[in-house]
Chain A
Amino acid sequence: MGMLKDLKTLLDEPTVRSLRAGDVVYFTGEIFTMRDQAHLRALKLLDGRGLPFDLEGRVIYHCGPLVKGGRVVSAGPTTSMRMERMESDLIRRSGVRAVIGKGGMGERTLSALQDCGCAYLEYTGGAGALAAKSAKGIRQVFWQDLGEPEAVWVIEVEKFGPCFVTMDSHGGELRKGAFRP
């Protein structure tokens, strides 16, 4: 396994460029949940009047959290490959510095990570209860009309991990060949 790193958001390019496939990261700070519908809407808005939040230097999380009474109950990752058709555009146009999900992503995302200085990380799929343990609170929520799983939740996390860097900004990949989705 690679290096163990504690990262605080926001992230800058040199920090992200220092990450290599195999590194294990624990995040502290704000992360933005964004999955299918939020990607669709974000790309539409980037064509027009822009986003209601700034993703420059941000970490996005492929996650539809289970939220009750303003508290995050369970918040593991969702399958990232569903976002493959949209992710490279979002990375190129929003300045996002890290994407967390599960299952890996494809060629288009990998080249956007290289071009823009972004990294793709994975948290263990299904481990939602444990993930929620590191959520300290919900700071903001956008696009609740999309429904609870699809809204953008800005979650304050403390030592959220282990997140494994599986695709880095130098073309490095942990999953190769047959295991690539």
Chain B
Amino acid sequence: MTLDPAEIAKVIRLLESELPLDVECLLRDATAREVGLSRTVMETIIKNVEYARQNSIPMCQDTGTLIFFLEGGFDIRETEEEIGEAVAIATEEAPLRPNTVNPFTRENDGRNLGRGNPLIHFAAGSDSDGLPRIHIIAKGAGSENASRTCMLDPDQGLEGVKRIVVDAVRGAGSKPCPPIFVGVGIGGSHDHSALLAKKALLMDMRERSRDPMVASLEADLLEEINRLGIGPMGFGGKTTALGVRAEWAHCHTASLPVSVCIQCWALRRVSCTVKNGRLTVDGHA
């Protein structure tokens, strides 16, 4: 299967300038609930979202690092090249801010590439018609810096998991541009739990897990987080988080890994289906 880098670059531009439907709906609902300074902040966010969409420009100057999740029969080497080229094109045309630097020298290649970038996760799987899928998320640093992974002891159980998540949000406070979204990864290994937490951010934020245990964890966490009262930009209010989703995997009998992926209000992600090398975007406003 051959992908067209220019077409992927267009999808990246879309993801930077338009929010997914679930995210925008939740932002609008939250705006109506807030008062005072927090209301003004939410109204500024909504104005910004509309202005970015109308002008097809990135809503936030931190266009993030792009993370790709590919499901289905992709040729890994070929696809890595195509996506690398897509990111270089998008950096010019979306445009993206050149964000990636060498961690030792802090040198910036100006193209959002360099060792290990963009990050691509390949997996089996497809949509219900058997077609391959591509999910892309743009992750800004303000919220990513507030994310964390903890290796709990099994006796700490679900209560331990909740404490890690709520502590992470409390510790992050005003820094990650609340109201936030929270992805939680439970189980797996140290690295796997972080991946699960990020993948949780790909799920519809208005829905709950089909697994009743996970669904009640998501609901409890959202309620507890919103009781913190951090509010929009940390100015206090009813909305600290707009959504919490969790993903899980079996883990070692001696472990209970937990990862919390914090995401600013601008949850910029896009999902597409691939048919004959062409992309169809779904779930967007």
Contact = CB atoms under 8 A, between A and B. Distances in A.
Interface of A: 1, 37, 63-66, 68, 73-76, 78-79, 81, 102-104, 122, 124-133, 146-150, 162, 164, 174-175, 178-181
A162 B44 contact: yes
Given A102-B233, A126-B266, A147-B106, A181 B173 contact: yes
B265 interface: yes
B45 A179 contact: no
Contact of B52 (A65, A79, A129): A129
A81 B141 CA distance: 13
20 contacts: A66-B96, A73-B57, A74-B61, A76-B62, A78-B141, A102-B233, A122-B233, A125-B142, A125-B177, A126-B45, A129-B57, A130-B48, A147-B98, A147-B106, A147-B110, A149-B98, A162-B40, A175-B235, A178-B229, A179-B231
B36 A64 contact: no
Contacts of B97: 64-66, 74, 148-149
B48 A128 contact: yes
B59 A129 contact: yes
B234 A104 contact: yes
A54 B175 CA distance: 29
B101 interface: yes
Contacts of B142: 78-79, 103, 125
A2 B58 CA distance: 31
A102 B37 contact: no
Given A66-B95, A127-B48, A162-B40, A175 B234 contact: yes
B175 A126 contact: no
A-B pairs, top 3 by smallest CB distance, nearest first, are A147-B108, A125-B177, A127-B48
Interface in B50-68: 51-52, 55, 57-63
B110 A148 contact: yes
Interface string B97-136: 1110100001110100000000000000000000000000
B107 A126 contact: no
B235 A74 contact: no
Given A103-B234, A128-B62, A37 B48 contact: no
Interface of B: 36-37, 40-41, 44-45, 47-48, 51-52, 55, 57-63, 95-99, 101, 106-108, 110, 141-142, 145, 173-177, 228-231, 233-236, 264-266
B44 A81 contact: no
Contacts of A129: 48, 51-52, 55, 57-60
Given A63-B61, A73-B58, A179-B236, 17 more contacts: A1-B36, A66-B96, A73-B61, A74-B57, A104-B174, A124-B45, A124-B233, A127-B45, A129-B57, A130-B47, A132-B61, A175-B235, A179-B173, A179-B174, A180-B173, A181-B175, A181-B234
A128 B98 contact: no
A132 B95 CA distance: 14
Contacts of A68: 95
B172 to A, nearest CB: 9
A149 B99 contact: yes
**Of residues B57, B96, B145, B231, which shows the largest number of chain A Cβ atoms within 10 Å of its Cβ?**
B57
Contact of B58 (A63, A66, A104, A147): A66
A175 B62 CA distance: 25
B108 A102 contact: no
Given A73-B95, A74-B58, A147-B101, A103 B108 contact: no
A164 B37 CA distance: 9
A1 B37 contact: yes
Contacts of B141: 78-79
